[in-house]
Amino acid sequence: MIENLVIVESPAKASTIEKFLGKDYLVKSSFGHIRDLEKKNLGIDLEKDYSPQYIVPDEKKKIVAELKKLAKDARTVWLASDEDREGEAIAWHLFEVLGLKKDNTKRIVFNEITKDAIQKAIKNPRSIDYNLVNAQQARRVLDRLVGFELSPILWKKVKPSLSAGRVQSVAVRLIVEREREIHAFKSTSSFKVNAHFLTDEKKTTVLAELEDKIKIREHTLAFLKKCQNAQFKVSDIVTKPSKKSPAPPFTTSTLQQEASRKLGFSVAQTMMLAQKLYEAGNITYMRTDSVNLSESAIGMAKTVILKEFGEKYSFPRQYKTKTKGAQEAHEAIRPTYLDKTDIAGATSEKKLYDLIWKRAVASQMSDAALEKTTVTIDISSTPEKFIASGEVMKFDGFLKVYIESTDDEHEENSEKLLPPMKIGQMLNLDYIKATERFTHHLPRYTEASLVKKLEELGIGRPSTYAPTISTIQQRGYVVKEDREGTLREYQEIILKNQQITEQKLKETTGAEKAKLFPSDIGMIVNDFLVQHFKDILDYNFTASVEKEFDEIAIGSVKWTKMIDKFYQPFHKKVTITTETSERSVGERILGKDPESGKPVMVRIGRFGPMAQIGESSDEDKPRFAGLLKGQSIDTISLEEVLDLFKLPRVIGLFENKEISASVGRFGPYLKHDSKFYSLKPGQDSPLTVNLERAIEIIQTKRIEQENKILKTFTEDPDLKILKGHWGAYLAYNKNNYKIPKTISAETITFQECQEIIKNGPSKAKPKRGKKSK
């Protein structure tokens, strides 16, 4: 007989709580939800008021059986799942599936894991909140209806196996629209004019910027001419105090952002490391939308700050969550023990822990006090003014520990220390430099900045940010890529020693690192969905249904009513779209082929993005060509398409044989002496690669091939021992054979090789990414 059985959601949480509760309590974990809608079918009975058809999935059967057995023997069962919509539903599913009884089942909640909080919860049990449960059922059913009715339309109208959903489709939309904004963006340039002055002592320089940028070169030159014999006088000095406050401790989303900005971690990587830290007991729960810290954590932080930095640096504070739709079932992410500055583990874990520690500690520290000084400098020959600004830190406060990063890629930290100056003081001009600067488009999303945007829109939850980002990449809607920048020319005009000189310089622009780009399929699917299901793709759709879920949660709306109101018009739209909409292949007609006069178009074909000259109905067949990597249906020009039809292209002769370049099933390649040599997309293009470079590629590949060979045999020159990615293997007649571990690749004999060949080639790789049933 067990006195008390407590069920929580996470096993790590279970073991912590067990310590607080003592031997009369057995604490177990449900490992999240224990049942869900049927996997294969819709799982919702549309004839019976949307009645959900729940099943316990196979992987949960074992844990359910165990909990059932324990619950039967327990005097009291405490359902201690999280205090939010999903947590309440978990408690209810447990109640139903385990066959619990009302009189000995108690529902308790706590949103911080401290002894006090848990004991207080035990003293204040309640019963299951069915309104909250119904809000969750509505959420679950709505997501299923949307996902399972939209996806099949895409299978019919675009491509099989695609998917759509309330969260993922909006995430893709953000990326598609940002990409189009970027393409529509026209950069303009203007001249930023910086003056470098010397103070009387000629020891320190003062950097000042002209108030307004100058649009064109001629005006810039005219301005510099005016400055040639001018005098420069300090006309005003304004000093203003300012302060900076620390950021709140981490939530899942802000942790993902900062780990990306400061440590370069992907969203998935951050979560995996945080999970490890959590399981080792080093940090609190890592999937949270709350910035709340427990009283004891605030106390611990104070002790640490007093000891490490002194009283001036301590400033305990409690933060309020501003995030849309936050459920706040947990604390913010923080070290479990704030006095622990270092942990055992891998370097990456240590780095992430350090970040979490700094952010949490800094959040409990004093504001930084700054003093901003703005100096206005008059020019005797013209009314324009130079402005020098500087910043002095009067007290570092939390900045001693932690500075939050931003996503701004073009940040210029011009705030510097200024030497002492007086109003009326004359300054000596060292030189003036006018540099041509360009406006830049909005940045492409990174994984982390996309998470930030989704959170702002109230779309998705801490537990789904990382999976959503991986889903939209897996479906091929979005790719994470680096892109090389292009060289751009800019002008610089300098006035020094009364002389004006001009020069042209070059800089790289538009380079991207680990950014999210939409694919052709991503754009086509997005356009299709936006066209036919505008309301669901609306950025405010989630926010508005969340409001309705809230109504259900307080009991003022019946959940099936809400679903019905949504589903009736939605389903009608699904039916109409299925019946009436065209197949969507993203076709764009670019113009006419100057040679034949036939129309030139691009679209998605059976094997991906392609270009076509002529209609399929024409007497002579249309001509086809695949698009190159990096080209997009959305943006490719007629010229670029016509270039594609120049392939295969003969480049020249090498060793008396022709080298030609083309694009095939596996990308661009060179062909020489009936051997193939892949071209790296982005590095060499089959349209432009020259003979010299082609020969270089062929010779490099030959050397690589040479190095791969570990051993050959005089008995049969076709039989080779090669060095592969996973070690040595045997190659013969275009088949590869695994060498048994009992035989060393170095001493293998010809006889042994023949033995291996007799046993047949190594099996083809099994299909990935699918769990067999």
Partner DNA sequence: CAGTGAGCGAGCTTCCGCTTGACTT
Tokens representing 386 are 């130079």
Q: Which long-range contacts (CB under 8 A, 24 or more apart) does 643-649 make?
A: 643/687, 644/611, 644/687, 645/611, 645/613, 646/687, 647/686, 647/687, 648/686, 649/686, 649/687
Judged by CB under 7 A, does residue 617 bind DNA?
no
Judged by CB under 7 A, does residue 157 bind DNA?
no
As measured in angstroms, the least distance from the Cβ of 93 to DNA is: 9
Tell me which residues in 81-120 interact with DNA (CB under 7 A): 82, 84-86, 90
What one-letter code names the amino acid at 314?
A: S
Q: How many CB atoms lie within 10 A of CB 337?
A: 15
Choice from 608, 638, 720, 752 touching DNA (CB under 7 A): 608
Tokens representing 666 are 């596996």
7, 10, 40: which is closest to 25 by C-alpha?
Answer: 7
Angle at CA of residue 262, ends 260 and 263, nearest 5°? 70
- The number of helices, as runs of H, and strands, as runs of E, in the chain is 20, 30
Binding pattern for the stretch 620-649 against DNA, x by CB under 7 A and - elsewhere:
----xxx-----------------------
Kindly determine how many residues on this chain lie close enough to bind DNA according to the rule CB under 7 A: 78
Judged by CB under 7 A, does residue 599 bind DNA?
no
Choice from 18, 279, 404, 527 touching DNA (CB under 7 A): 279
Binding range to DNA, per CB under 7 A, among 79-87, 95-103, 214-222, 587-595:
79-87
Choice from 134, 169, 260, 270 touching DNA (CB under 7 A): 169
As measured in angstroms, the least distance from the Cβ of 664 to DNA is: 3
> What angle do helix axes 252-263 and 347-362 make, rounded to 10 degrees?
120
- DSSP 8-state class, residue 333: B
As measured in angstroms, the least distance from the Cβ of 589 to DNA is: 16
Tell me which residues in 370-429 interact with DNA (CB under 7 A): none
As measured in angstroms, the least distance from the Cβ of 74 to DNA is: 22
Choice from 10, 253, 294, 366 touching DNA (CB under 7 A): 10
CB 44 within 8 A of CB 52: yes
CB 210 within 8 A of CB 432: no
Tell me which residues in 192-251 interact with DNA (CB under 7 A): none
496, 482, 471, 391: which is closest to 169 by C-alpha?
Answer: 471
Judged by CB under 7 A, does residue 667 bind DNA?
yes
Tokens representing 417 are 């220390």
Judged by CB under 7 A, does residue 134 bind DNA?
no
User: Pairing relation of β-strands 2-8 and 74-79?
Assistant: parallel
As measured in angstroms, the least distance from the Cβ of 17 to DNA is: 12
Please identify which residue in the block is written with the tokens 């679903």.
563
Binding range to DNA, per CB under 7 A, among 508-516, 574-582, 650-658, 663-671:
663-671
Query: How far does CA 559 lie from the centroid of its chain?
Result: 34
Per-residue exposure over 258-276, b if at least 16 CB sit within 10 Å of its own CB, e if not: bbbbbeebbbebbbbbbeb
Choice from 18, 143, 209, 752 touching DNA (CB under 7 A): 143
Q: List the catalytic residue out of 25, 50, 278, 285.
A: 285
Choice from 147, 249, 522, 614 touching DNA (CB under 7 A): 147
CB 323 within 8 A of CB 251: yes
Task: Please give the Cα distance from 372 to 417 (Å, whole number).
Answer: 10
Binding range to DNA, per CB under 7 A, among 144-152, 421-429, 547-555, 574-582:
144-152
747, 743, 717: which is closest to 732 by C-alpha?
Answer: 717
Tokens representing 47 are 């004839």
As measured in angstroms, the least distance from the Cβ of 298 to DNA is: 23
Choice from 105, 163, 190, 584 touching DNA (CB under 7 A): 163
Judged by CB under 7 A, does residue 284 bind DNA?
no
Judged by CB under 7 A, does residue 548 bind DNA?
no
User: Residue 732's beta-bridge partner residues?
Assistant: 735
CB 475 within 8 A of CB 519: no
- 525 CB-contact burial (10 Å; exposed 0-12 / middle 13-18 / buried 19+): buried
Task: Please give the Cα distance from 82 to 238 (Å, whole number).
Answer: 53
As measured in angstroms, the least distance from the Cβ of 766 to DNA is: 7
Task: Please give the Cα distance from 521 to 610 (Å, whole number).
Answer: 12
Judged by CB under 7 A, does residue 586 bind DNA?
no
Choice from 106, 107, 157, 166 touching DNA (CB under 7 A): 166
Nearer to DNA by Cβ, of 11 and 345: the residue is 11
Nearer to DNA by Cβ, of 202 and 734: the residue is 734
Judged by CB under 7 A, does residue 54 bind DNA?
no
Choice from 107, 118, 135, 140 touching DNA (CB under 7 A): 140
Tell me which residues in 705-734 interact with DNA (CB under 7 A): 726, 734
As measured in angstroms, the least distance from the Cβ of 113 to DNA is: 12
- 205 CB-contact burial (10 Å; exposed 0-12 / middle 13-18 / buried 19+): middle
Tell me which residues in 297-356 interact with DNA (CB under 7 A): 327
3-state SS of 77-124? EEECCCCCHHHHHHHHHHHHHCCCCHHHEEECCCCCCCHHHHHHHHHC
3-state SS of 607-630? CEEEEEECCCCCCCCCEEEECCCC
Judged by CB under 7 A, does residue 520 bind DNA?
no
Binding pattern for the stretch 734-763 against DNA, x by CB under 7 A and - elsewhere:
x-----------------------------
Tell me which residues in 21-50 interact with DNA (CB under 7 A): 29, 31-33, 36-37, 39-41
Judged by CB under 7 A, does residue 585 bind DNA?
no
Task: Please give the Cα distance from 552 to 333 (Å, whole number).
Answer: 30
Nearer to DNA by Cβ, of 93 and 359: the residue is 93
Choice from 323, 341, 678, 754 touching DNA (CB under 7 A): 678
Nearer to DNA by Cβ, of 432 and 451: the residue is 451
CB 416 within 8 A of CB 391: yes
Nearer to DNA by Cβ, of 340 and 675: the residue is 675
Nearer to DNA by Cβ, of 442 and 607: the residue is 607
Judged by CB under 7 A, does residue 276 bind DNA?
no
Tokens representing 477 are 């809607």
As measured in angstroms, the least distance from the Cβ of 754 to DNA is: 23
Binding range to DNA, per CB under 7 A, among 80-88, 123-131, 216-224, 364-372:
80-88
Judged by CB under 7 A, does residue 358 bind DNA?
no
Choice from 486, 616, 744, 751 touching DNA (CB under 7 A): 616
Judged by CB under 7 A, does residue 518 bind DNA?
no
Binding range to DNA, per CB under 7 A, among 195-203, 409-417, 659-667, 742-750:
659-667
Nearer to DNA by Cβ, of 141 and 208: the residue is 141
As measured in angstroms, the least distance from the Cβ of 168 to DNA is: 4
Indicate if 431 belongs to the active site.
no
Tell me which residues in 430-469 interact with DNA (CB under 7 A): 459-464, 467-468
Task: Please give the Cα distance from 290 to 461 (Å, whole number).
Answer: 12
Judged by CB under 7 A, does residue 522 bind DNA?
no
As measured in angstroms, the least distance from the Cβ of 405 to DNA is: 26
Residues with a known catalytic role: 285
